[in-house]
Structure 1
Amino acid sequence: MNRPIILSAMLLSVGAITGCTTVDPYTGEQQASNTAKGAGIGAVTGAIIGAATAGKKDRDKSIITGALAGAAVGGGVGYYMDRQEAKLRAELQGSGVQVRREGDTIHLVMPGNITFATSRYDIKSEFYSVLDSVSKVLAEFKKTSISVSGHTDSTGSLEFNQTLSEQRAESVGAYLIQRQVASGRVDTTGYGPRYPVASNANASGRQQNRRVELKLEATE
């Protein structure tokens, strides 16, 4: 197998689709984009398939063609989510909402103290503008599903916390729908105190556990 040609085809394919790096708006550091990672994997796969299926005469051409096709497929979802992530970060900077990326999934973590009053599930009026910003981006990226999950700390009864988490998730989901996000894209679930992200033994940890999260995934 012609490894130098495969490597060259992979680099050509990734470079043609993306600049290979993005700039983190918080740190200012350059980092490999998920588009580049996906395109690179697709390019290697396409190149290998091209090499394996072509005759000796056309092998080099097939390797390059396969790499380009594989990079386009591999980079597609990553590119879509890269763009969505960049717009969300720009809209939400300084809002208190955490934007976290895991592969091709984006998580928006909304702390309960900025979203709801204590033991309430009606959204604070001062948080409307933040949700408006989220809704604007989600309305633009229509091929994204939104899973809204509510979480509480362990203080109080399990029954109360479960109900509160469901109501808070439903409040956020309903607001997004009101702001032109299609209802079929939105799913809401309450988990009560079952999935803490910090210790419930101290006030700081309990505050982190009281949250609503949005999980964003591409549907195609």
Structure 2
Amino acid sequence: MKTLKPLGIVTCMTLVSACTTNPYTGEQQASKAATYGAAAALGCGLIGAIDSGKHARNAALGCGAIGAGVGAYMDVQESRLRAELQGTGVQVAREGDNIRLIMPGNITFETDSYNLKSSFYPVLNSVGTVLAKYHDTTIRVSGHTDNTGSRAYNQTLSERRAASVADYLATTQVARDRMLVEGRAFDQPIADNSTTAGRAANRRVELYILPKTS
């Protein structure tokens, strides 16, 4: 017992230390990976202190890995996406463990069309490469419009634009069954629809990259 209790404590301290650094980018950051890893490591250290058996040690190691895994897995995807999409006009936002890609309409589609611009293909190829590699996520593809025209027209247009993006991503080895496609018409503006610039910002497709829950 006395020789095995320190193992649990050392394991806990090691995991906390590792989790303060992004294991993929090497950046020092207070990411969710660090938070979850620290919490998991504390719990695992207690397991090791209470039960010194082989099963407890294995459980402790597994607990720490799981705690750090979700945040770190999303961290590295975010880093890759930012590198791939720099200068393309696509915005990358991190929201907790989720990643949000905002694709403005002016670089994705012609006006009143749901046919992708050929100039946008390389951008989607880059997105697809990352999504295909990190496949333990689900993807919500949402189409958005400004408030010009009827609701019925904008609903259909937003759905078709989202579907066009999803269909193209499927050609880059991103499984179609990972993607939920939806149209939001003009219900979720991110800018003022009373201005030209605002309407242009609202015409967009967004990708939400979400860690799998099971």
CA distance in 2, matches of 1:37, 1:94: 31
Q: TM-score, normalised by structure 1?
A: 0.81
State the Cα distance separating 1:141 from its structure 2 match: 1.1
Cα distance between partner residues in 1 of 2:176 and 2:61: 37
Structure 1 residue aligned with 2:3: none
State the AA in 1 paired with 2:124: L
- In the alignment, the residues of structure 2 paired with residue 67 and residue 77 of structure 1 have an alpha-carbon distance, to the nearest angstrom, of 17
Residue 148 of structure 2 corresponds to 155
2:173 alignment counterpart: 180
Give the 3-state SS of the residue equivalent to 2:182 in structure 1.
strand
- The alpha-carbon deviation at position 67 of structure 1 amounts to 6.3
CA offsets 1:67-113 (integer angstroms, 9 cap, x no match): 65433111111111111111111111111111111121111110111
Specify the alignment match of 2:18 in structure 1.
16
Q: Distance in 1 between matches of 2:185 and 2:46?
A: 48
> In the alignment, is residue 41 of structure 1 matched against residue 34 of structure 2?
no
Match of 1:87 in 2: 80
Q: Does the CA contact (< 8 Å) of 2:81 and 2:130 recur in 1? A: yes
Checking the alignment, whether the CA contact within 8 Å between 2:33 and 2:72 is kept in structure 1 is: yes
Residue 217, structure 1, aligned to residue 194, structure 2: no
Indicate the residue corresponding to 1:117 in structure 2: 110
Q: Deviations over 1:14-61 (max 9, x none)?
A: 22356258879xxxx85323322221222234345656xx27xx6xxx
SS of 2:29's equivalent in the other structure is strand
Task: Output the CA distance in 2 between the equivalents of 1:7 and 1:139.
Answer: 38
Percent identity, aligned pairs only? 50
What's the Cα RMSD here? Answer: 2.7
**Bigger mean CA deviation after superposition, 67-76 or 154-163:** 67-76
**2:177 is paired with a residue of what secondary structure?**
helix
What is residue 97 of structure 1 aligned with on the other side? Answer: 90
Give structure 1 stretches of 5+ with no counterpart. Answer: none
Q: 1:30 to 1:205 in 2, by over 3 A?
A: farther
**Paired positions, count:** 204
Which whole-Å CA distance do the structure 2 matches of 1:11 and 1:200 have between them? Answer: 52
What is the distance in 2 between the residues matched to 1:50 and 1:201? 61
Secondary structure of the corresponding residue to residue 147 of structure 2:
coil
Aligned equivalents of 1:65, 1:174: Cα separation in 2? 43
Which amino acid counterpart does residue 14 of structure 1 have in structure 2? V
Q: Which runs of 4+ in 1 moved over 6 A?
A: 5-9, 21-24, 64-67
Q: CA deviation at 1:129?
A: 0.4
Structure 2 residue matching 1:39: 3-state secondary structure: helix
Choose the corresponding residue for 1:31, options 29, 32, 53. 29
